[in-house]
Structure 1
Amino acid sequence: MRPFFFMGILVTFLLFQGCVSNKKYNELQTKYDDLQQRGKDLNKKYQTSQQELAGSTTRVKSLEEQIEAQRQNVISLQAALDKCLATSNQGNVNISKLVDEINSSNKYIQHLVNTKNKSDSLNMVLTNNLTRSLSREELRDVDVKVLKGVVYISLSDNMLYKSGSYEISSTAGETLSKIAKIIKDYKDYDVLIEGNTDNVPISQTNIRNNWDLSALRASSVVQALQSAYGVDPKRLTAGGRGEYNPVATNSTDAGRSKNRRTQIIITPKLDQFMELIGKAPDTTD
């Protein structure tokens, strides 16, 4: 009778162990499914933001082309006026019309130049304010640039995250708080947080690849800016580019270190920018 008793205890113990393992498996599976969905949502939002950023960049280029076209138009009009004056004194009506067109074109050129200068000036003030607020030590891990009317703040992963993780490190708080203040001061700008990695494969149970890691890191920064520093979440977008947007070679430690970064991209809201360059000045004066 005693052997059967011990056998029953052993079977019960094994069944209990099996139940615990299944429970852990289900928890891990649920967590993995949540991360997958989260990654899909982030990528979708990121694609939308990339389209808006591309539109803004195109408008900046269009603005420069309009300025050049108007300058050429003034040159052509001036040449026509000179020719008219040289060949005949009759055609006072045509001369008056040419003068009006030249004055109108000059006014519009000045409007376009002022609009571009306004955007450039705001970006330079934003950049200078941020740079002055950072300490010498922080500037080693933070790079600030203005390219084609857009402000790029590049942060190294060593400063932002715990090693091999997407959790914000305790040392990053002071730097993020200074960046958050600048973002809040310039409330008419949208902010894209973009994660980037090197090409070394990641080996984490709950992170599939560098795409996941870059998106999760960007999401961590977005949530820190929102919850810890009060940035309006409607202005924020998180996205990841994985290893596919390198700024240096991945064949050296120094190059890989540069590629492991998170960029905070600050750009004027697209609708306001289009409104600025779409309004020609009144030329009826």
Structure 2
Amino acid sequence: MRIKNGIMLGLLPVVLFSCVSSKKFKEAEAKYTQLNGAYAEMQGKLRDCESNLNNANNDISKKKGEIDALNTQIDLLKQNNNAALKQLQDLSVISGAQAESIKKSLDNIGAKDMYIKDLQSEMARKDSLNMALVMNLKGAVGDLNDQDINIKVDKGVVFIDISDKLLFKSGSFDLTDQAKVVLGKVAKVLLNQPNIEFMVEGHTDNVPYKKNAYLLDNWDLSVKRATSVVRVLQNDYGIPPARMAAAGRSEYLPVTSNDTPEGKAANRRTRIVILPQLDQFFKLLEPNGGRQ
């Protein structure tokens, strides 16, 4: 019994020591596991930091490359600006020597531009006046056949063509009574335009005129017919003679062929030509009027 108790007393410290060591071991093991987990977590964060650092370094390198490229462009721009400034300096020397000449050239260009605008304005005004005149004339003689009297504008000039069958008998330069009625309608419009000057032209066909004591040929006939019209406009309708001129064209300015009777009839005509008011254009050509 004493032996058994002795053995038990001898084993008791061993058992107690084993129990205490196992508990500490488990606690240490748990602590190790915890620390190992923390270490792994720190390793992960370290890797993330290294990755972020690498990305940041890459971004910095990229931005540095862009900055270098921009600096290169800035250097090129500076060089170009310097070259441009140099050219401007060179030009400034030239312009300084020729400034007065350039100024005169620019003034001359401006004056010519204004001169052209004045001409265009005057031409537009003239065209408007011509169209108004044509409308008035057509209104005045509106009851007459267009084949007997034709009013038109050609190249800025107003023409009034009156068939000779309305004005004269064949081969004669004496005006008929009907002619005075027609000329009276035309004269009424012309009197309302006191600034207008005109020329009366006589025209014939190509049939040779049988000369007599008064006339030698178609030249004479065309001129006499023109002067007959001018006299009536002056004496019967009061148009100032200074506004008129008389001319003969004979057979040499036909409006159509003389190969047919209709063609000959069309060529036998009296034409009133409204003369352009060239004095207005001549004023523009003067030094002060034209600004040259």
By the TM > 0.5 criterion, same fold? yes
Residue 222 of structure 1 is matched in structure 2 by 230
Residue 141 of structure 2 is matched in structure 1 by 134
Q: What is the one-letter code of the residue matched to 2:201?
A: E
Q: What is the one-letter code of the residue matched to 2:122?
A: T
Aligned residues: 198
Change (3 A) 1:123 1:277: farther
Contact 2:119–2:281 under 8 Å retained in 1: no
Q: CA deviation at 1:88?
A: 5.2
- Residues in 2 aligned to 1:104 and 1:186: alpha-carbon distance in whole angstroms: 33
Change (3 A) 1:277 1:141: farther
Change (3 A) 1:102 1:171: same
Residue 45 of structure 1 is matched in structure 2 by none
- Residues in 1 aligned to 2:151 and 2:287: alpha-carbon distance in whole angstroms: 31
RMSD of aligned C-alpha atoms? 2.8
- Residues in 1 aligned to 2:136 and 2:200: alpha-carbon distance in whole angstroms: 20
TM-score (normalizing by structure 1): 0.61
Change (3 A) 1:278 1:115: farther
Q: CA deviation at 1:136?
A: 3.7
Change (3 A) 1:116 1:277: farther
Residue 250 of structure 1 is matched in structure 2 by 258
Q: CA deviation at 1:271?
A: 3.5
Q: What is the one-letter code of the residue matched to 2:227?
A: S
Residue 283 of structure 2 is matched in structure 1 by 275
Matching residue within 136, 139, 146 for 2:153:
146
- Residues in 1 aligned to 2:165 and 2:150: alpha-carbon distance in whole angstroms: 14
Residue 73 of structure 1 is matched in structure 2 by none
TM-score (normalizing by structure 2): 0.60
Matching residue within 110, 113, 117 for 1:110:
117
Provide Cα deviations, 1:176-224, integer angstroms capped at 9, x if missing partner: 1121122222222221111000011223533221111111111110001
- Residues in 2 aligned to 1:228 and 1:238: alpha-carbon distance in whole angstroms: 17
- Residues in 1 aligned to 2:192 and 2:111: alpha-carbon distance in whole angstroms: 37
Change (3 A) 1:243 1:100: closer
- State whether structure 2 residue 134 is matched by structure 1 residue 124: no
- Residues in 1 aligned to 2:219 and 2:289: alpha-carbon distance in whole angstroms: 47
- Residues in 2 aligned to 1:102 and 1:209: alpha-carbon distance in whole angstroms: 55
Residue 156 of structure 1 is matched in structure 2 by 163
Change (3 A) 1:265 1:282: closer
Contact 2:115–2:284 under 8 Å retained in 1: no
Higher RCO (C-alpha 8 Å, min separation 6):
1
Q: CA deviation at 1:277?
A: 4.7
Change (3 A) 1:214 1:105: closer
Q: CA deviation at 1:265?
A: 0.7
- Residues in 2 aligned to 1:278 and 1:161: alpha-carbon distance in whole angstroms: 45
Q: CA deviation at 1:230?
A: 0.6
- State whether structure 2 residue 243 is matched by structure 1 residue 235: yes
- Aligned ranges 1:69-108 → 2 under 5 Å: 97=103, 103-108=110-115
Contact 1:144–1:153 under 8 Å retained in 2: yes
The farther-off stretch of 160-169 and 216-225 is 160-169
- Aligned ranges 1:149-228 → 2 under 5 Å: 149-203=156-210, 205-206=212-213, 207-228=215-236
The DSSP-based 3-state class of the residue aligned with 1:162 is coil
Contact 2:159–2:273 under 8 Å retained in 1: yes
- Residues in 1 aligned to 2:277 and 2:182: alpha-carbon distance in whole angstroms: 24
Contact 2:223–2:249 under 8 Å retained in 1: yes
The DSSP-based 3-state class of the residue aligned with 2:237 is coil
- Residues in 1 aligned to 2:216 and 2:235: alpha-carbon distance in whole angstroms: 27
Q: CA deviation at 1:175?
A: 1.8
- Residues in 2 aligned to 1:112 and 1:237: alpha-carbon distance in whole angstroms: 27
- Residues in 1 aligned to 2:133 and 2:211: alpha-carbon distance in whole angstroms: 38
Q: Which has the larger radius of gyration?
A: 2
- Residues in 2 aligned to 1:241 and 1:272: alpha-carbon distance in whole angstroms: 28
The DSSP-based 3-state class of the residue aligned with 1:139 is coil
Contact 2:161–2:270 under 8 Å retained in 1: yes
Contact 1:138–1:175 under 8 Å retained in 2: no
